[in-house]
Amino acid sequence: MSQNLIEARNLVKRFGEKTAVDGVSLQVKKGEIFGFLGPNGAGKTTTIRMLAGALDPDEGEIRVFGMTYQQAEKEIKRRIGVLPEETPTLKNIRGHEFLKFVASIYRCGDEVFAKIDELCELLNINFLHEFVDNYSHGMKQKLMLVSVLMHDPEIMFLDEPTTGLDPVSARGLKLLLRKRVEAGATVFMTTHILEIAEKMCDRMAVISEGKIIAEGTIEQLRTKAGTGGDLEDIFLQL
C-alpha cells in the first residue's frame, strides 16, 4: 500500500456558476502534518470537506487509506477525525454528555474517559458539566477538538483548528498533534495564519482562487518564491 494516506487528483467543485475548487491534486504521507494555506474564500474548506467525505466533488478522485469513499465510506470514516469550520449547534446537552454520545458512535471502551481527561487537561477544559449552548466560541472549539481526537484517529482533518483558542490551549494543541504524528498519525489542517503553518507543518500547499499555486516544505517554498525570508515573505512572492 502507498505511504500516501490521502490522495486527490484533479478535484473540481462548483456552486452554481462559481468554481470553488479548480483542479486540485495533492498527496499527504503517513506521519506528517500537512498544512493547507490560503486567504478566506480560496477554497480551503471546500477541499477539506471533500477529502473528509462530507462533500462530493463534481470531478476528480479521492483516495483515503488507498480506498475511495464509494468503496469503503464506513471504514474510512471510522478511522478519521474531522473538525469542521463551523461548530454544530448543540441544544440541551452538557459537554460530558456530548462526548459520551460521540464515544458511543465510535464504540469506544471505558479507556476513552482517561483520554478525554488527558485532552481536557491539555486544552484547559473545566466546563464539561455546563450546557453547550452556553459555551463561548472558544469553548465549543475545544469541545469539538476533544470529540475529534479522543478515539485516536489515524488521520485528522482539521479546518482552522486554532480558531478561538487562547495561547495556552493553542500551544497544548500543537504539542498534542506533534505527539500524535510521532506515534504514526497524520494531520491535514487548513489555516490562513502563516505563523501557525510555519511552526506546525512539515509540508504545505498554498491555494488561491481554487487552484494550488505552490506545494512543498518551507525550504522548497522559499526556493520557488526566490526568497530566504519567513513564510509571510514567501506567501507575498507567490
DSSP, collapsed to helix, strand or coil, labels residue 238 as coil
List the grid coordinates of 218: 518551507
**Single pTM value for the model:** 0.92
With CA atoms as reference, report the closest residue to 49 among 193, 206, 188.
Answer: 188
With CA atoms as reference, report the closest residue to 128 among 171, 81, 90.
Answer: 90
Q: What is the C-alpha separation between 116 and 151, in angstroms, rounded?
A: 9
Instruction: Quick: pLDDT tens for 92-151.
Output: 999 999 999 999 999 999 999 999 999 999 999 999 999 999 999 999 999 999 999 999
Q: What percent of the chain has pLDDT over 90?
A: 75
Task: Output the domain CATH number for residue 58.
Answer: 3.40.50.300
DSSP, collapsed to helix, strand or coil, labels residue 80 as strand
Confidence category of residue 222, pLDDT binned at 50, 70, 90? confident
Residue 16's region, left for phi above 0, alpha for psi from -120 to 50, else beta, is left
> Could you count the other beta carbons within 10 Å of the beta carbon of residue 17?
5
DSSP, collapsed to helix, strand or coil, labels residue 109 as coil
DSSP, collapsed to helix, strand or coil, labels residue 230 as coil
Instruction: Quick: pLDDT tens for 51-79.
Output: 999 999 999 999 999 999 999 999 999 99
Domain holding 225, by residue range, is 4-237
Q: What is the C-alpha separation between 8 and 10, in angstroms, rounded?
A: 7
How many domains, the chain?
1
DSSP, collapsed to helix, strand or coil, labels residue 214 as strand
